Amino acid sequence: MKVNNVSLTISAVSAKQYPATGYPEIAFVGRSNVGKSSLINRLIDRKSMARTSSVPGKTQTLNFYDIEDQLYFVDVPGYGFAKVSKAARAKFAAMIEEYLSTRQQLHGAVLLVDARHLPSADDVSMYQYLKYFNIDVLVIGTKVDKTSKARRQTIMRDIKKTLDLNQTDQLIMFSAETGEGKDAVWAWLDAQANI
Ligand code: GTP
Ligand code: MG
């Protein structure tokens, strides 16, 4: 999709705040600091539409970005950040669960994992959770600019194996730094949102 118009519709913390427009939605999930907000910015060619930070825990609400009045990208708070208090973690988990388990117009989830490491136990749990709710998943191995090209096939194989990735779910290697993988991600998004 060619994107010219993007706006942040709402930063929601509960279901009653979700937009009522009915556009298809794609959720971006993954560990804190993995690069969810950076991926969104790269997809829409904006440097800082979604706020990013080198400090984990930047995104703390469900941020609904209206893409061309056709779909929403939903930037989701990251999980697995040890410095967040137990109470705050429980609050984020409940917020994410409420969204992923009830949202009718959710057309798929993009699960980001760090290409430099094996998926964490939290990543595996999140993938299983998404599959439990029958949500289509695109797995993205991100920050691939920080890995060597020679290791690419091994990394992809290890990610698939660790997540026990379904045949029907795709894995794409991506870099928000270089833009590698962007067209492939858009192809998945277009198909998923029927646009
Ligand atoms: P939370 O909102 O805290 O959950 O984090 P997030 O997943 O939204 O991560 P964010 O996009 O804020 O990026 C975290 C850090 O990783 C920032 O310093 C980014 O510049 C960096 N980063 C993100 N993607 C890439 C990438 O593809 N390559 C490199 N080299 N750095 C990246
Ligand atoms: Mg973020």
CATH number for the domain that contains residue 30: 3.40.50.300
User: Closest-lying ligand to the alpha carbon of 35?
Assistant: 1
Distance of CA 146 to the CA centre of its chain: 19
Residue 1 within a domain: no
Average confidence (pLDDT) over 132-139: 96
User: Closest-lying ligand to the alpha carbon of 63?
Assistant: 2
Q: State if residue 57 touches ligand 1 by the CB under 6 angstroms criterion.
A: yes
pLDDT digits (tens, 9 = 90+) for 152-171: 999 999 999 999 999 999 99
Structurally, the chain folds into a number of domains equal to 1
Q: State if residue 177 touches ligand 1 by the CB under 6 angstroms criterion.
A: yes
pLDDT at 195 over 70: no
Query: Is pLDDT larger for residue 16 or for residue 82?
Result: 16
pLDDT digits (tens, 9 = 90+) for 71-126: 999 999 998 877 778 888 888 899 999 999 999 999 999 999 999 999 999 999 99
Q: State if residue 35 touches ligand 1 by the CB under 6 angstroms criterion.
A: yes
DSSP string covering 63-99: EEEEETTTEEEEE---B--TTS-HHHHHHHHHHHHHH
Residue 97 within a domain: yes
- Residue 24: domain span: 6-193
What is the phi-psi region of residue 133: left when phi exceeds 0, alpha when psi lies from -120 to 50, beta otherwise?
Answer: alpha
Q: Determine the Cα–Cα distance for residues 51 and 98; give it in Å rounded to an integer.
A: 23
Query: Which of 48, 44, 45 is closest to 66 using CA atoms?
Result: 44
Q: State if residue 24 touches ligand 1 by the CB under 6 angstroms criterion.
A: no
Residue 61 within a domain: yes
Asked casually if ipTM beats, i.e. exceeds, 0.85, the reply is: yes
Query: Which of 28, 31, 33, 36 most suits a substitution to test ligand 1, by most atoms within 8 Å of the C-beta?
Result: 33
Residue 62 within a domain: yes
Q: What pLDDT is stored for residue 96 in this prediction?
A: 93
Taking CA atoms only, the protein residue closest to ligand 1 atom 21 is: 35
